Chain A
Amino acid sequence: MSHHIIEANDLHFTYPDGTVGLDGISFRISHGESVAVVGENGSGKSTLLLHLSGCLFASKGRLRIGDTYLEQKTLNIVRRTVGMVFQNPDDQLFMPTVFDDVAFGPLNLGLTYLEAERKAMDALKTVGAEHLRNRPPYKLSQGEKRAVSIATVLSMSPDILVMDEPTSSLDPKSRRKLIELLKTFRHSKIIATHDLDMAMDLCERTIVLHQGKVTADGETLKLFQDEGLLNRSSLEKPLRTQQC
């Protein structure tokens, strides 16, 4: 079974203004793995995630998701496989009510109203947000927004979850709740983050990016103990491994 595999092969991407986003990135993520993508601001994390969801296309190199190579023709298949959660819930939640938002994906996949409703309610139940179904998104708290954002992609039953900074701007308790929730998911997960403690909790593997290149790829615990590497990548040891 290879449909949860992500394989990047020498990805290159340059923005129209000349900024280099990706500069030869290769990796292979297999079924059920949780991978953290870390790196300083502008290291190419978000650019990479946009490639995984087919929002950007590499100028050189290929990206394989499951059995399909990502190209314009296969975009729909890939987007069905990959659920992308954006950093800002206000970008992710654009429909008038929470329920509409969660049902948006399933309806676009061509499900009947009944099925779409069931999927949406299941997803809301999973993230514990059933009671918010009729609320407009702008009236939710940050934590609730984040949970609902995740429900909007869960309802499409993706095989792979891709998340950009899921714990940013959450209070400690909401953050902890989110981490516990993500632990229960059995999808392959790719999480771009600055929150190295969360990465330690959730991801057994980490990819470190620096100026559009992969500078390290390996076991999370090991990488986060390598101070030289962290320094070079403008990162800091996770709080919990810092001895005071």
Chain B
Amino acid sequence: MNNIGKNSFDIGYMDTLALGDSSLHRLDPRAKLITTLVFIVTVLSFGKHTVSAMLPFFIYPIVLISLSGLPSRYLMKKLLIVSPFAVLVGIFNPFIDREIIYYIGSIGISGGWVSFLSILLRFVLTVTAALILLSLTGFNAVCASLMKLGLPRPFVVQLLFFYRYIFVLTDEAERMERARSLRAFNSEAMNIKIFVSLIGHLLLRTIDRAERIYLAMCCRGFDGRIRMIRKMKRSYKELFFVIGWSLLFIFLRNYNITLKLGQAFTGVIK
């Protein structure tokens, strides 16, 4: 369970990345948030058998990563960690949808395989975009811009508290697990009874902590509303970023560049 600590540390690393100072880092968080949302929506709006038309969309993550100097290797690792979810979602498609829709040479490709590939592509594109957003902006700034853009306060506050205390919680879980493993001489694996008790204790501690935090908030005049000072700027740069990328996404959504290029290319060969 040492992984708990490692993973949470890794999440923290994204905040460190967000402290960078490229022109993309300095962009108003709202601009990046909106652009990412447009990107995700356009990618998800493709039909279930689309593959080629989605490929040009890779330009967005590639351009952003190369301009901002984010470590692509780190992002890819994060992507791999969550990939089982996407694989699980799509893995049964080849068994359900067996209708052949393409031939490569004499090998028939069923619709199931194509839609599976399509799901994987979508997953890679959208999750990479979200990871880039987080590591260019930082979780808190993303939350703040969500609030500025009108997401109800209670949701945003939940997110902020979640992010503030996830580290405290994982630390606590790690300490408990270490204390257990130091006294569990012959059994490395945890049996269900101990696991339940650990989780139960963690819950009780969390409730206690929540109570103390609430008292601390009350002592400083908390009245049900969280107020924060956030200065955000809006300039032509932000406008240009949002509109430029959005237009490109919409264009790529409506014209299959890959197909056109392919046709042009084969045309030249002929």
- Nearest A residue (CB) for B19: A134
The answer on a CB contact under 8 Å between B140 and A55 is: no
The answer on a CB contact under 8 Å between B220 and A88 is: no
Contact of B218 among A55, A80, A100, A139 (CB under 8 A): A55
In the assembled complex, how far is the CB of residue B50 from the closest CB belonging to chain A, in whole angstroms?
39
The answer on a CB contact under 8 Å between B168 and A138 is: yes
- Residues of chain A within 8 A (CB-CB) of B140 are 96-97, 136
The answer on a CB contact under 8 Å between A105 and B15 is: no
**In the assembled complex, B232 has its CB within 8 A of some CB on chain A:** no
**In the assembled complex, A79 has its CB within 8 A of some CB on chain B:** yes
- Residues of chain B within 8 A (CB-CB) of A105 are 220-221
- Provide the B207-234 mask, 1 if CB < 8 A to any CB of A, else 0: 0010011011111111100111100000
Stretch at the interface among B57-65, B80-88, B124-132, B156-164: B156-164
The answer on a CB contact under 8 Å between B223 and A138 is: no
**In the assembled complex, A179 has its CB within 8 A of some CB on chain B:** no
The answer on a CB contact under 8 Å between B209 and A108 is: no
In the complex, which range does the number of interface residues on chain B fall in?
Answer: 20 to 34
In the assembled complex, how far is the CB of residue B36 from the closest CB belonging to chain A, in whole angstroms?
20
**In the assembled complex, A215 has its CB within 8 A of some CB on chain B:** no
The answer on a CB contact under 8 Å between A107 and B219 is: no
The answer on a CB contact under 8 Å between A104 and B220 is: yes
**In the assembled complex, A224 has its CB within 8 A of some CB on chain B:** no
- Residues of chain A within 8 A (CB-CB) of B168 are 90, 138
**In the assembled complex, A220 has its CB within 8 A of some CB on chain B:** no
- What number of A residues sit within 8 Å (CB to CB) of B? 37
- Residues of chain B within 8 A (CB-CB) of A113 are 229
- Provide the A136-171 mask, 1 if CB < 8 A to any CB of B, else 0: 111100000000000011001000000000000000
**In the assembled complex, A86 has its CB within 8 A of some CB on chain B:** yes
The answer on a CB contact under 8 Å between B221 and A94 is: no
Chain A residues 30 to 65 lying within 8 A of chain B, measured CB to CB, are 50, 53-55
- Residues of chain A within 8 A (CB-CB) of B213 are 91, 94
- In the complex, A94→B228 CA distance in Å? 13
Contact of B220 among A99, A117, A153 (CB under 8 A): A153
The answer on a CB contact under 8 Å between B221 and A79 is: yes
- Provide the A102-135 mask, 1 if CB < 8 A to any CB of B, else 0: 0111011100010011000000000000000000
The answer on a CB contact under 8 Å between A53 and B164 is: no
In the assembled complex, how far is the CB of residue A159 from the closest CB belonging to chain B, in whole angstroms?
14
- Residues of chain B within 8 A (CB-CB) of A94 are 161, 164-165, 213, 216-217
- In the complex, A92→B216 CA distance in Å? 6
**In the assembled complex, B167 has its CB within 8 A of some CB on chain A:** yes
The answer on a CB contact under 8 Å between A96 and B143 is: yes
The answer on a CB contact under 8 Å between A96 and B164 is: yes
**In the assembled complex, B12 has its CB within 8 A of some CB on chain A:** yes
The answer on a CB contact under 8 Å between A156 and B220 is: yes
- Provide the B67-110 mask, 1 if CB < 8 A to any CB of A, else 0: 00000000000000000000000000000000000000000000
Contact of B229 among A79, A103, A153 (CB under 8 A): A103
**In the assembled complex, A181 has its CB within 8 A of some CB on chain B:** no
- In the complex, A138→B168 CA distance in Å? 8
Contact of A108 among B161, B164, B212, B220 (CB under 8 A): B220
**In the assembled complex, A74 has its CB within 8 A of some CB on chain B:** no
In the assembled complex, how far is the CB of residue B75 from the closest CB belonging to chain A, in whole angstroms?
21
The answer on a CB contact under 8 Å between B221 and A55 is: no
- In the complex, A99→B229 CA distance in Å? 9
- Nearest B residue (CB) for A84: B219
Given contacts A80-B221, A96-B140, A138-B167, A116 and B216 within 8 Å (CB-CB):
no
Given contacts A88-B212, A100-B228, 7 further A-B contacts (CB under 8 A): A50-B215, A55-B215, A76-B221, A97-B140, A99-B229, A104-B217, A105-B221
A–B Cβ pairs within 8 angstroms, 7 of them: A91-B212, A94-B161, A94-B213, A99-B229, A104-B220, A107-B227, A108-B222
